[in-house]
Structure 1
Amino acid sequence: MTPIHEDEHLLVLEKPSGLLSVPGRGPDKQDCLSKRVQDRFPEALIVHRLDQDTSGLLLMARGIEAQRRLSKLFETRQVKKRYVAVVAGLPEQTQSATSPDEGGWRTIDGPILLDWERRPLHIIHADGKASRSRWRTLETSTSASLIELEPVTGRTHQLRVHLQSIGHPMLGDSLYAPPDIKALSPRLLLHAQELAFVHPFTDLALDFKAPVSWSATSPYSTARS
């Protein structure tokens, strides 16, 4: 797997939908982005993950010290992450009582908890971990919306759970969308399109983008990613 950026401390890659970030359980789940990268860069280590069905930008460290410094950036929310998704319906109408900020962003707050009896599903629950996502509309049709998202926290399935919790699941989502919404796309329409941070060794500001040509109107997406 060829990085879109590499230096002596880190690698930036674009993960396709359907590929695990790290190995799963069982011999049939060993193929993953981290293994493919380590075949070429044996010192490469995972810093964060994307869901198997999510495509987009993913960062890996080259060595233990780089992993420590990059992980600290994520832990202290110094990494800007932006996603794009196509969701069912018009979330602006659902959240019309919530005023957007100057940039058009609205916020979803909802504590997220693993549903042990139905894992890997996660749910909004009072006993869950505090979670916050920001979103804004890019394009709408009568039945779907193309939106941009920023996860403020980093819970498992956070963006998918939050949009499902307000009644707007993502198209193609095999876990959180009802069958008719899942069937609208052959893949989950969620893509990590931007990563920005200050390089932890050089202090250089880095901003990586991997845009997709998705639409709020059927057929919704292109073949890319």
Structure 2
Amino acid sequence: MDNALEQNITKSSLPDATKPRPVHRLDFPTTGLLIIGKTSASILALNKLFENKKIQKTYLAVTIGEMIKKGTINTNVDNKEAFTTYNVLKTVTSNKFNYLNLVKLEPKTGRKHQLRVHLSSINNPILGDAKYGIPGKIIKGKGLYLHAYSLDFTHPFTNKKISVTKEPHNKYTKIFPML
């Protein structure tokens, strides 16, 4: 990934410029937004914002099965506390899966595979999740239906409110045309 970042992001002209680096992670099959730092100071400041939970992340996922419309999941992940709130935006019926849900997810902690583990723990795994999905209900070739949709935070140097979104891939609109 580092090589791709260097080739696609303009280097900073500031004295503490460094190789562009992600300041948080996304699971490999997750699509969407990622914050990249281009200076040592920005990487440190953005890491501090994440550490202090000052960056709000919103994800969209397609889940399988009948689902309670909203809630909080607080199942531990890797023996550490983990919290996620969710809200079902839309549900459609499916011949293969009975129900598919478009779900807005807001993780309050940042554990590895947290959203995938949490949704699986309530028997609503993410569509396309080969690791945490339901055997026999894994679709091949479409990938994981988990998308980092928005990031909201205050810029650490300018103090301006930053709010960015990235619309999900059109595979989502094939299931939920209103997207």
Per the TM superposition, whether the score is higher than 0.5 is yes
Residue aligning to 2:92: 141
After superposition, the CA RMSD in angstroms is 1.9
Residue aligning to 1:130: 81
Residue aligning to 1:43: 19
Alignment of 1:60 onto 2:36: yes
In 2, Cα distance between the equivalents of 1:35 and 1:54? 19
How far does residue 65 in structure 1 lie from its aligned partner after superposition? Answer: 1.1
TM-score, normalised via structure 1 length: 0.67
Residue aligning to 1:193: 149
Alignment of 1:152 onto 2:128: no
Q: Aligned with 2:33: secondary structure?
A: strand
How far does residue 82 in structure 1 lie from its aligned partner after superposition? Answer: 0.2
Read off the aligned partner of 2:6 and give its amino acid letter: Q
Alignment of 1:112 onto 2:77: yes
How far does residue 180 in structure 1 lie from its aligned partner after superposition? Answer: 3.0
In 2, Cα distance between the equivalents of 1:182 and 1:47? 31
Read off the aligned partner of 1:197 and give its amino acid letter: F
How far does residue 90 in structure 1 lie from its aligned partner after superposition? Answer: 1.9
Residue aligning to 1:99: none
Work out which structure has the larger RCO, using CA pairs closer than 8 Å and 6 or more positions apart in sequence. Answer: 2
How far does residue 35 in structure 1 lie from its aligned partner after superposition? Answer: 2.3
CA deviations on 1:131-187 (whole Å, 9 max, x unpaired) are: 000100100123111100000000000000000001011111111112433217611
Identity percentage over the alignment?
A: 35
Q: Is the 8 A contact 1:169 1:181 kept in 2?
A: no
Q: Is the 8 A contact 2:90 2:103 kept in 1?
A: yes
In 1, Cα distance between the equivalents of 2:141 and 2:88? 19
In 2, Cα distance between the equivalents of 1:158 and 1:172? 16
Q: Aligned with 1:58: secondary structure?
A: coil
In 2, Cα distance between the equivalents of 1:63 and 1:198? 17
- Correspondence 1:165-180 to 2 at 5 A: 165-180=121-136
TM-score, normalised via structure 2 length: 0.84
CA deviations on 1:105-145 (whole Å, 9 max, x unpaired) are: 410001111xxxxxxxxxxxxxx000000100100123111
CA deviations on 1:165-210 (whole Å, 9 max, x unpaired) are: 0101111111111243321761100000101110001001010011
- Gaps of at least 5 residues in structure 2 are 12-17, 94-98
Q: Residues 35 and 221 (structure 1 numbering): CA distance in 2 closer, same or farther, change over 3 Å?
A: farther
